Amino acid sequence: MSTTVSALVEVRAAGADDEELAEATRRLRAELLELDVTGAEPAPAPAGPGPDGAKGGGVMAVAGLLVQFAGQDVLAAVISSIQGWLGRQRSRSVKLTIDGDSIELTGATSAEQTQLIELWAARHAGAS
């Protein structure tokens, strides 16, 4: 039987207000719940100063989901769903973290980003 994995999915949006960010996060959550995940619940708001990568003077808003799933195939489906969702978003990125290991996903598709995602997901194959 596969071990359940918890992933923190942080939706990041430059210049978005709380309502816009909450709506975007709700839409992503709805898409993730269509997958074979065991849960996708709102994560507590990050404490402290804004996240790294915030552009000078701009505000980077962050909202999170805790997504639970079992199996490497489900991790691949979660990543694919996030990438599809990002392709329909403007000024959004998603930081995906499992066991303290994070990767930043954007709507941009490139061979380099695809390779980085595959390597990151492979590191977590043994956890599922």
Record the tokens describing residue 78, joined without a space.
Answer: 């979660």
* % of the chain residues with pLDDT over 70: 83
pTM of the model: 0.80
DSSP secondary structure letter of residue 69: E
Total number of domains in the chain? 1
Cβ-Cβ contacts under 8 Å for 85 (sequence gap 6 or more): 27, 28, 31, 94
Distance (Å) of CA 26 to CA 33, 41, 52, 53, 73: 10, 10, 23, 23, 23
CATH number for 119: 3.30.70.600
Q: pLDDT tens digit string along 7-41?
A: 999 998 888 888 888 898 999 999 999 999 999 99
Task: Write down the pLDDT at residue 46.
Answer: 61
Domain range for 17 is 4-48+57-127
Q: What is the pLDDT of residue 57?
A: 40
| Per-residue model confidence as pLDDT tens digits over 63-75 | 999 999 998 899 9
Q: What is the model's pLDDT at position 78?
A: 94
Give me the mean pLDDT over the 81-101 stretch. 89
